[in-house]
Amino acid sequence: MDRPTTSFLACRDCWVLHPIPGLLIDYTDEAREDAFAAFHEFRVHHATHNTTHLQRQRCETFADRPLWDPLVTIGFQVTDGERDYIVQAARESIDEPRVYRFLPGTIGFTSSEVIVDDHDVRRALDRAFFPHALRPTTLDRFISILHDVVSHIPPDELEIAFDAAEDPSVSIARMPNGSYDELLARSAEIFDSWEWPRVTRFLSENRGEDGLLALRVRRHAHALSA
């Protein structure tokens, strides 16, 4: 997808805007030339219109599909210093450039939810016992405990480590120590003594933000009228 841009030239008559090319250090010569040519064409086309400069205001972004998808529609917030606007960037096909449109308003978040990838946890924990096998009922009980522990974690109290590359509305966080301790204590009640050392090793190795117990904080965005 296109590289993030923070400055835009906006036409208030047509309600469209265009990224202002910066230094473009990481661009190839051809990509750099294309970016400046597209911006020049936009500027010439709207030369007699009411234009202004807008600046990307906050990091909040929403998307309707993974960011690597060339047809992803992206939304974010910009400002002219006095009024806020919502930008929506989309394209009809991969052969067409992305079109940026804007309207007065702000991006709000109605709620956040904390989730964990229980499918990968289930599969990896089962694999940790190879060539032995965990009882399916034991795995089911562990996943149920994991869901219950996660469901009581307030999203606003999590320390975000990074945002998910495929979805800007999802952030990744480490499981809090208190929640991890609760998961450990409750898990001790369902595993046999011979299983417990492998379980504790698995939980310890996966408790970080890059492990299978990493929490995914999904924010639900919506537009607010100006």
User: Which DSSP helix (H) or strand (E) runs through 126?
Assistant: helix 118-127
8 has a pLDDT exceeding 50: yes
Find the mean pLDDT for residues 53-74.
Answer: 83
The more confidently predicted of residues 93 and 67 is 93
The model's pLDDT over 106-124, given as tens digits with 9 standing for 90+, comes to 887 766 789 998 999 999 9
pLDDT given for residue 111 in this prediction? 61
226 has a pLDDT exceeding 80: no
Kindly report the backbone phi and psi dihedral angles of residue 173, in degrees, each rounded to the nearest multiple of 5, phi listed first: -140, 155
Domain ranges, ordered by start, for the chain: 7-108, 116-224
pTM over 0.85: no
pLDDT given for residue 58 in this prediction? 67
37 has a pLDDT exceeding 50: yes
- Maximum pairwise Cα distance, the chain: 78
Pair 18, 8: CB distance under 8 Å:
yes
pLDDT band at 1 (very low <50, low <70, confident <90, very high): very low
Checking DSSP bridges between strand 160-163 and strand 16-19, what pairing results, if any?
unpaired
